[in-house]
Amino acid sequence: QITLRESGPTRVKPTQTLTLTCTFSGFSLIFSGVGVGWIRQPPGKALEWLALIYWDDDKRYSPSLKSRLTITKDTSKNQVVLTMTNMDPVDTATYYCAHETVRTGAFDVWGQGTMVTVSA
């Protein structure tokens, strides 16, 4: 059974850097064809894909946020970490991590999400 759980601060100040951790079980990021992505959702708005890292350490980023994002993995801890620099109130959202397979391109298992508020 695949599970994912997001963790990190619930509140950050404008201009600060956000660091979120996705801890997963039921699969490993050492096996071919697997990826873990980050998706966010501002309150009352649509889903927005942010970044994804593959088993082979290939990394993909949203073009509009690429300059602010870094995604890394720690296969020994079964964790994926997303950092987002220069946070702004418009970045207030629920942040999700999710399991993805190259074969389908779909996010088939999601974490419960973590709400991050950006305010002074």
Nearest approach in angstroms of CB 15 to other proteins is 27
Residues 1-30 that bind other proteins (CB under 8 A): none
CB nearer to other proteins: pick between 39 and 84: 39
Burial (CB < 10 A; 0-12, 13-18, 19+), residue 41, is middle
Non-local CB neighbours of 63 within 8 Å, separated by 6+ positions: none
Using the rule CB under 8 A, which residue among 16, 23, 62, 117 binds other proteins? Answer: 62
Using the rule CB under 8 A, which residue among 3, 60, 70, 117 binds other proteins? Answer: 60
Using the rule CB under 8 A, which residue among 1, 31, 63, 76 binds other proteins? Answer: 63
**Which positions lie near other proteins, rule CB under 8 A?**
37, 39, 46-49, 52, 60, 62-64, 96, 98, 104-113
